[in-house]
C-alpha cells in the first residue's frame, strides 16, 4: 500500500498536471508530450494505440488535448468542453499493484482517501473506431467519474499480450473537484499567487471554446470535410505500401487515420452524418486502423 | 466434521454479475464434491464486490475406500478381448477371478485425501468459471472477471496446498479497500482458518460478507436518514440489488439537490439519479412529489460523517441535471417535425426499414383501429405520426428509457391536445405484466398500432420467438395487445388486424398485392404473395391464442377450454374470453359435466358411423313409431333452437349454456334407452341424425371434442 506522502496539495490546474507527471515519473514511466494531431481521446495517441501492441514492455504517461466537436457549448456550459485535457497512463504489462498505484496518484493530487468515496464501477471500455476493447471500471470519486481504468484486451482487432493497463483521467473535471470549483472556466490555471500574474482556465480557453463551437456546428464546409476524409482514407494504404529501411510507414499512416477520425467527428458535429451512415464511417476508420495495427505488430515481432 | 472455506479475492467484480457468480460457484462445488462421492452437511456461497466465498460443512478427511467390481469378457473369449480388458483395468490375468463363466476383477481403491480433491476442484472451478465476460491481465494466462489476487483455501483449519498460475493458496485475505483499524487507509490482511474467524475478521475489517445483510443495512440506513428529515424513500429493488454489489461497507449518505431543478419532469430527475448516479430518490410525504434530496450509498464511513461525500455527490447531480435541463431547452427549440425528418436516417431493423417507414405503417394501422376503439381518426393519425418523434430528441438520446414519456411532455409543451400528448406518452404501454394498459381510446389506438406493426413485421421476416429466446419481446407485445383489448372490452377482429398490419409491409417489400380479407371464407387470388401473407396472419393468430392461453391459465382457466373456443375460428378476443368463462362455469355444474360426457358418447358413435360412410342427408324427421326418449330429445332440440340462437347472437354465453343444459336429461335418456345402430336403416338414420343435431347445437358454443374429461 503506498504510504500517504506528505505532499502539498496542488495549487492550480497546471500544478495538478505536474504532480501527476512527478508521480508517474517516479513509478518509472516515460513522460511524453501530446501528440500533434487532433484526437478525440488520449487513447488514440500512438503511444497508447500502437505501443499497447507487441511484446515489448512500455510504461508512459502524457497529457493529451482531446477534441470532441459535438460537445462544444460556446463556453456557456460550466462542465462541457469541445477541447479538454486527458491525462493518460499506459503500463504494459500491467503491474499487479496497478490499482494501488492509481489510488496513490489520487492521494498525490490531494484527495484524502479516508473522507472521499472512491468506487470502481463496471465499465467495459470499447472504442469501435480503433477496434479496441478492454474490461475495467469507471472510477468514481463521490459519485463523479474521475478516471477510466481499463485492462486492454484488443486493439486494432488484435489481442493485446501481455495485457496493457490504461488509466485516463479527465483533468478538468478532476481539477474542479480538487479545487472545489463549480465552473471549469474559474479553475486556477496557474498558481493564484504567481508573481507574474494569475490566469484562470477561462482566460486561457474561453475564447477558443466560443470560436471552435461555432466552427464545429456551423463553420466547417461539409463538402470539404468529406473530401478531406476521403483523401486521408485513400492515403493510408498508399503510405503503408511505402517503406523505409524495410519498414512500412506505419507511423505516418496512423497519423492519417487520426486525421480521418477527427474529420469524421467534425462531420458528425455538423449533423452531416445520418444515423444509418455512422456505422459505415466508423467501420471505414476501423479498417484503416486495423491495417496500421497489423503492420505495427509485424514490425514489433520482427524487431 | 471438518469444514472447507474458500475465498477467491479479486479486483472489483461487476455488481450485476455477483448473484449469478454465487449461484455458479455453488453449483460447481456441489457437482465436484458429489462426483468425488462427498455428501456435505451444508454448502453456502457468498458474493460481494471483491470476493466469492464458499463454505462447506461436514466433509470427511478423505474419501472412503472403495471396492470396484469390473466385469470382463467371458471365459474363452478371444485373447484380444481379454488383453484389452487387462490393459484397461491395469491388471494381470492372475488377478482375475472367474465367476459364472465371466472374468471378474475386484479392485480396491484407497480413498484420496479431501485436500487433494479440494485442490483439484478449486483449480477446475477457477479455470472453468462461466463469467459472462472475462479477461486476462499482465502476462498471466489465467482468465477471471477481473485480476484474481488471492486464494484463501483452508480445510479443517489447515491451508490446502496448491497454486494456480503463481497464485498460492493460503489462509490470508484482506479487509476493506480503504477502511482499516487504526491510522491511514488501505486493505489490511488478516488470517482466517475457519468460517467463524473469517466472518469475524471481515466485520472487524469493515466488510459485510452477505449480500442480504448489505441490502438490509442499506434499507435500514436509508429509512433512518429519511425519518430524521421527515422524508420518504422511493424504494427501488433493482437499484438496491445493484448498490449492494458496489460497496463492502455500505453507508447511506443523504445529500441535497438544488430545488430549482424540481421543475424538470420527475421522471427525468429520478432516471438521472438512478441510471447515472445510482442514487435513491426521496419524496416529500406531504405532497407526494420528489423532495430536493437524494441518498447515495457510499462504500466508506468517512471521518467527517459523510459531509464531503454528500457535497461532492450533490455537485455531480447538479451538473447531471444541468445537462438534462440543457437537453430540455434544446429539444423544445427543435420540435417534432425536424425529429420526424431525422427518423428517415434511423434503421428500425435491417429487414424492416427505417423508423420513418415504421411511423407510416403505424399511422395507417391507427387509422384503421381508431374507429373500432372509439377514437377520433384524425387525432389518432396525428398521435401515431408523432409518437416516435422523441427518439430523435436529445433527452431520449441520453435517457432511452424515457421514450414516449418525453414525447408526451414535449407535446404538451408545444400545445398539442392533451389526449394526443397522452397517446404519445402511453403508446409503449403496457411494458410488462405489472404495467398498466392504456385506457384512453386514442392511446389504445396508437398502442395497438405500435405493437401490431412490431408483431407483423417480425413474423414477416420470420424472427419469431423460439423457446426462451424472444429478442424483440414479441411475447410481451402480444400479451400487451391482449390485455389492452380485454381490459377495454374492445371489439377488434384479430385476423383483420393482423392482415392490416401486414399490408404496411407490402410496399416496403415491393411485392405484389395483398388482399386484406384474410379470413378463411374470403376469396383470395391464388398467388404466392397471398398464400404467404395468409400463412403469416394465421401464424400470428396462433401466437395470440398461445399467449391468451397463458393469460387465462394464470387466471386458473383450463387451456383446453381456450382450444375448444379457438377451434370455432373466432378472432374476437372479448367474445372468446366470454365464451371460455361461460364454458368454465358450465362445466363446473352437474349438468355441464354430464352433458360433456353425453357429448363424448354421442360423438364417438357418430365418428364410428361416419367412418363407415354414414352422412347426415336431408332433414331430421322423427319416425312415427319412435320411442319416448327419441321424441323427448327431438323436442328438446327443437325447443332450444331459437333461444340458443338468440343467446349466441346476443353473445350471452351463460344463457346459451343454460339452454344447452336443457339437453342433459334427454341426451342421457336417449343414450341409455335407445339402440342407435338399429337394423332398420330408417331408424338408424333418424337416430344418428338426432345425435348429430346434438353435436351441432353444442358445437355452436365450443368444440367440446377438444375438452378433456
Task: Look up the ipTM and state it.
Answer: 0.93
Q: Report pLDDT for A1.
A: 44
pLDDT score at B523: 58
For residue A143, give how far its alpha carbon lies from the nearest alpha carbon of chain B (Å). 5
B345 to chain A: which residues are within 8 Å by CB?
A: 274-277
- Between residues B623 and A134, the one the model is more confident about: A134
Chain segment A44-53, per-residue pLDDT in tens: 999 999 999 9
pLDDT band (50, 70, 90) for residue B95: confident
If you count residue pairs, one on A and one on B, with CB atoms under 8 Å apart, how many are there?
Answer: 127
pLDDT 10s digits, B150-160: 999 999 999 99
Which among A135, A144, A163 is the nearest to B316, CB-wise? A144
pLDDT at residue A9, as a whole number: 85
pLDDT digits (tens, 9 = 90+) for B245-287: 999 999 999 999 999 999 999 999 999 999 889 999 999 999 9
Please give the Cα distance from B296 to B292 (Å, whole number): 14
pLDDT tens digit string along B30-80? 999 999 999 999 999 999 999 999 999 999 999 988 887 888 888 888 888
* pLDDT value at residue A4: 44
Model pLDDT for residues B405-463, shown as the tens digit of each residue: 999 999 999 999 999 999 999 999 998 888 999 999 999 999 999 999 999 999 988 88
Which stretch of A5-9, B389-393, B565-569 has the lowest confidence by average pLDDT? A5-9
DSSP label of B62: B
- The pLDDT assigned to B78 comes to 86
A114: distance to nearest CA of chain B, Å?
Answer: 6
- Region A152-157: mean pLDDT is 94
Quickly state the pLDDT bin for A235 (edges 50, 70, 90).
Answer: very high
What percentage of chain A reaches a pLDDT higher than 70? 96
pLDDT band at A275 (very low <50, low <70, confident <90, very high): low
**Closest CB to B135 among A93, A116, A135:** A135
Which run of H or E residues covers position B170? strand B167-170
Q: pLDDT class for B323, splitting at 50, 70, 90?
A: confident
* Position B384 pLDDT exceeds 50: yes
pLDDT digits (tens, 9 = 90+) for A57-91: 999 999 999 999 999 989 998 888 999 999 999 99
- Amino acid A2: pLDDT: 47
Confidence (pLDDT) at A151: 97
Q: What is the model's pLDDT at position B508?
A: 67
What's the average model confidence in pLDDT over B292-304? 94
- The whole-number average pLDDT for the span A21-38 is 97
> Quick one: average pLDDT of B188-196?
96
pLDDT of residue B516: 47
To the nearest whole percent, how much of chain B has pLDDT over 70? Answer: 96
Query: Would the pTM count as exceeding 0.90?
Result: no
- Which residues in chain B are contacts of A177 at CB distance < 8 A? 312, 315
Domains in chain B (CATH in brackets) are 3-62+114-204 (3.30.70), 66-109 (3.30.70), 211-322 (no CATH), 339-556 (1.10.3210), 578-706 (1.10.730.10)
Whether A171 has a pLDDT exceeding 90, the answer reads yes
- For the segment B465-482, what is each residue's pLDDT rounded down to a tens digit? 988 888 889 999 999 999
Q: Nearest chain B Cα to A152, which residue?
A: B137
Taking CB atoms and an 8 Å cutoff, what residues of chain B touch A94? 137-138
- Whole-number mean pLDDT of chain B? 90
The β-bridge partners of B294 are B255, B281
Compute the mean pLDDT over every residue in chain A, rounded to the nearest whole number. 92
pLDDT digits (tens, 9 = 90+) for A86-109: 999 999 999 999 999 999 999 999
Q: Report the alpha-carbon distance of residue A260 to residue A233 in Å, rounded.
A: 7
Q: Which of residues 213-272 of A touch B (CB under 8 A)?
A: none
pLDDT in tens, A193-230: 999 999 999 999 999 999 999 999 999 999 999 999 99
Give per-residue pLDDT as tens, B492-513.
888 778 877 877 777 666 554 4
Q: What is the pLDDT of residues B223-233, one digit of tens each?
A: 999 999 999 99
pLDDT at B507: 66
Does residue B122 carry a pLDDT above 80?
yes
- Enumerate the residues of chain A whose CB falls inside 8 A of the CB of residue B300: 114, 116-117
Q: Residue B181 has what pLDDT?
A: 84
- For residue B510, what pLDDT is reported? 55
HEC-encoded secondary structure of chain A: CCCCCCCCCCCCHHHHHHHHHHHHHHHCCEEECCCCCCCCCHHHCHHHHCCCCCCCCEEEEEEEEEECHHHCCCCCCCCCCCEEEEEEEEEECCCCCHHHHHHHHHHHCCCCCCCCCEEEEECCEEEHHHCEEEEEEEEEECCEEEEEEEEEEEECCEECCCCCEEEEEEHHHHHHHHHCCCCHHHCECCCCCCCCCCCEHHHHHHHHHHHHHHHHHHHCCHHHHHHHHHHHHHHHHHHHHCEECCEECHHHHHHHHHHHHHHHHHHHHCCCCCHHHHHHHHHHHHHHHHHHHHHHHHHHHHC
A15, A108 contact by CB (below 8 A): no
The per-residue pLDDT for B146 is 97
Residues 171-190 of A with CB under 8 A from B: 177, 182
Tell the burial category of B174 from Cβ atoms under 10 Å away from its Cβ (0-12, 13-18, 19+). buried
Q: What percent of chain B has pLDDT over 90?
A: 58
C-alpha cell at B50: 471483491
The pLDDT of residue B527 is 67
Q: Which of B319, B348, B351 to mutate to test the interface with A (most CBs of A within 10 A)?
A: B319
**Average pLDDT of span B518-543:** 71
Amino acid at each position: 500500500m503506498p504510504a500517504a506522502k506528505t505532499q502539498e496539495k496542488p495549487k492550480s490546474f497546471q500544478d495538478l498536471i505536474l504532480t501527476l507527471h512527478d508521480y508517474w515519473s517516479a513509478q518509472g514511466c516515460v513522460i511524453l508530450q501530446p501528440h500533434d494531431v487532433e484526437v478525440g481521446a488520449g487513447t488514440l495517441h500512438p503511444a497508447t494505440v500502437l505501443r499497447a501492441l507487441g511484446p515489448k514492455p512500455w510504461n508512459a504517461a502524457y497529457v493529451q488535448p482531446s477534441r470532441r466537436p459535438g460537445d462544444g457549448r460556446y463556453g456557456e456550459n460550466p462542465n462541457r468542453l469541445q477541447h479538454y485535457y486527458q491525462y493518460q497512463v499506459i503500463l504494459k504489462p500491467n503491474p499487479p499493484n496497478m490499482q494501488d498505484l492509481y489510488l496513490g496518484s489520487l492521494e498525490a493530487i490531494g484527495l484524502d482517501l479516508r473522507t472521499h468515496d472512491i468506487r470502481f464501477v463496471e465499465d467495459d471500455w470499447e472504442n469501435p473506431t480503433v477496434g479496441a476493447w478492454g474490461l475495467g471500471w469507471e472510477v468514481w470519486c463521490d459519485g463523479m467519474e474521475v478516471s477510466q481504468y481499463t485492462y486492454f484486451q484488443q486493439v486494432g482487432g488484435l489481442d493485446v499480450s501481455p495485457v496493457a493497463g490504461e488509466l485516463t483521467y479527465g483533468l478538468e473535471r478532476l481539477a474542479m473537484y480538487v479545487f472545489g470549483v463549480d465552473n471549469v472556466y474559474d479553475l486556477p490555471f496557474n498558481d493564484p499567487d504567481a508573481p507574474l500574474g494569475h490566469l484562470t482556465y477561462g482566460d486561457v480557453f474561453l475564447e477558443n471554446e466560443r470560436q471552435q463551437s461555432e466552427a464545429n456546428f456551423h463553420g466547417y464546409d461539409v463538402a470539404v470535410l468529406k473530401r478531406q476524409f476521403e483523401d486521408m482514407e485513400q492515403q493510408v494504404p498508399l503510405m503503408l505500401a511505402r517503406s523505409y529501411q524495410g519498414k512500412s510507414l506505419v507511423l505516418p499512416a496512423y497519423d492519417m487515420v487520426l486525421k480521418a477520425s477527427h474529420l469524421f467527428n467534425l462531420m458528425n458535429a455538423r449533423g452531416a452524418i445520418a444515423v444509418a451512415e455512422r456505422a459505415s464511417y466508423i467501420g471505414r476508420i476501423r479498417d484503416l486502423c486495423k491495417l496500421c495495427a497489423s503492420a505495427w505488430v509485424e514490425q514489433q515481432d520482427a524487431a | 466434521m471438518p469444514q472447507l472455506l474458500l475465498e477467491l479475492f479479486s479486483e472489483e467484480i461487476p455488481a450485476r454479475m455477483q448473484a449469478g457468480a454465487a449461484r455458479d460457484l455453488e453449483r460447481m462445488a456441489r457437482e465436484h464434491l458429489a462426483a468425488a462421492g462427498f455428501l456435505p452437511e451444508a454448502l453456502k456461497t457468498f458474493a460481494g464486490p471483491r470476493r466469492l466465498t464458499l463454505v462447506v460443512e461436514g466433509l470427511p478427511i478423505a474419501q472412503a475406500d472403495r471396492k470396484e467390481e469390473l466385469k470382463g469378457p467371458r471365459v474363452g473369449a478371444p485373447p484380444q478381448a481379454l488383453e484389452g480388458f487387462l490393459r484397461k483395468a491395469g491388471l494381470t490375468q492372475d488377478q482375475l477371478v472367474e465367476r459364472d463363466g465371466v472374468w471378474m476383477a475386484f479392485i480396491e481403491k484407497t480413498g484420496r485425501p479431501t485436500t487433494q480433491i479440494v485442490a483439484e476442484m478449486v483449480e477446475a472451478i477457477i479455470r472453468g468459471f462461466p463469467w459472462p465476460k472475462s479477461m486476462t491481465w499482465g502476462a498471466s494466462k489465467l482468465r477471471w472477471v477481473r485480476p484474481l489476487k488471492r486464494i484463501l483455501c483452508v480445510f479443517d483449519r489447515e491451508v490446502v496446498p496448491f497454486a494456480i498460475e503463481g497464485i498460492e493458496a493460503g489462509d490470508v485475505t484482506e479487509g476493506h479497500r480503504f477502511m482499516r483499524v487504526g491510522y491511514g487507509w488501505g486493505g489490511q490482511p488478516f488470517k482466517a482458518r475457519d468460517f467463524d474467524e473469517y466472518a469475524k475478521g471481515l466485520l472487524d475489517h469493515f466488510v459485510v460478507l452477505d449480500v442480504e445483510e448489505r441490502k438490509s443495512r442499506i434499507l435500514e440506513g436509508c429509512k433512518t436518514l429519511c425519518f430524521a428529515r421527515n422524508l420518504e424513500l422511493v424504494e427501488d429493488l433493482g437499484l438496491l440489488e445493484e448498490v449492494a454489489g458496489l460497496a463492502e461497507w455500505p453507508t447511506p449518505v443523504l445529500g441535497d439537490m438544488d430545488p430549482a431543478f424540481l421543475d424538470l419532469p420527475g421522471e427525468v430527475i429520478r432516471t438521472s439519479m438512478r441510471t447515472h448516479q445510482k442514487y435513491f430518490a426521496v419524496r416529500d410525504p406531504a405532497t407526494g412529489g420528489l423532495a430536493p434530496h437524494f441518498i447515495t450509498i457510499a462504500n466508506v464511513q468517512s471521518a467527517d460523517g459523510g459531509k464531503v461525500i454528500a457535497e461532492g455527490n450533490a455537485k455531480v447531480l447538479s451538473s447531471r441535471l444541468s445537462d438534462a435541463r440543457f437537453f430540455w431547452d434544446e429539444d423544445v427549440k427543435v420540435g417534432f417535425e425536424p425529429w420526424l425528418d431525422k427518423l428517415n436516417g434511423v434503421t428500425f431493423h435491417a429487414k424492416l426499414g427505417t423508423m420513418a417507414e415504421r411511423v407510416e405503417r403505424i399511422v395507417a394501422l391507427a387509422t384503421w383501429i381508431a374507429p373500432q376503439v372509439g377514437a377520433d381518426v384524425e387525432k389518432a393519425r396525428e398521435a401515431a405520426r408523432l409518437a416516435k418523434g422523441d427518439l430523435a430528441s436529445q433527452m431520449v438520446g441520453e435517457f432511452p428509457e424515457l421514450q414516449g414519456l418525453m414525447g408526451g411532455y414535449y407535446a404538451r409543451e408545444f400545445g398539442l391536445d392533451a389526449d394526443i400528448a397522452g397517446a404519445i406518452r402511453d403508446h409503449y404501454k403496457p411494458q410488462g405484466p405489472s404495467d398498466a394498459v392504456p385506457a384512453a381510446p386514442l392511446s389504445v389506438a396508437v398502442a395497438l398500432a405500435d405493437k401490431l406493426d412490431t408483431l407483423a413485421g417480425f413474423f414477416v421476416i420470420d424472427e419469431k420467438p423460439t423457446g426462451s429466446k424472444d429478442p424483440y419481446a414479441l411475447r410481451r407485445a402480444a400479451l400487451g395487445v391482449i390485455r389492452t383489448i380485454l381490459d377495454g372490452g374492445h371489439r377488434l377482429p384479430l385476423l383483420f388486424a393482423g392482415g392490416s398490419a401486414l399490408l404496411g409491409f407490402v410496399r416496403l417489400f415491393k411485392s405484389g398485392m395483398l388482399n386484406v380479407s384474410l379470413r378463411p371464407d374470403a376469396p383470395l387470388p391464388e398467388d404466392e404473395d397471398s398464400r404467404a401473407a395468409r400463412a403469416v396472419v394465421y401464424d400470428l393468430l396462433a401466437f395470440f391464442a398461445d399467449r391468451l392461453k397463458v393469460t387465462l391459465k394464470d387466471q386458473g382457466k383450463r387451456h383446453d377450454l381456450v382450444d375448444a373456443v379457438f377451434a370455432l375460428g373466432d378472432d374476437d378476443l372479448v367474445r372468446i374470453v366470454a365464451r371460455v368463462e361461460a364454458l368454465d362455469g358450465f362445466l363446473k355444474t352437474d349438468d355441464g359435466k354430464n352433458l360433456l360426457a353425453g357429448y363424448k358418447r354421442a360423438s364417438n358413435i357418430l365418428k364410428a358411423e361416419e367412418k363407415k360412410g354414414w352422412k347426415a342427408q336431408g332433414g331430421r324427421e322423427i319416425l312415427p313409431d319412435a320411442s319416448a326418449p327419441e321424441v323427448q330429445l327431438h323436442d328438446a332440440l327443437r325447443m332450444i333452437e331459437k333461444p340458443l340462437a338468440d343467446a349466441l347472437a346476443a353473445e350471452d354465453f351463460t344463457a346459451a349454456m343454460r339452454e344447452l343444459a336443457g339437453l342433459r336429461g334427454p341426451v342421457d335418456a336417449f343414450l341409455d334407452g335407445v339402440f342407435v345402430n338399429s337394423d332398420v336403416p330408417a331408424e338408424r338414420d333418424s337416430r344418428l341424425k338426432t345425435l348429430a343435431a346434438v353435436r351441432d347445437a353444442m358445437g355452436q358454443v365450443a368444440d367440446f371434442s377438444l375438452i378433456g374429461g
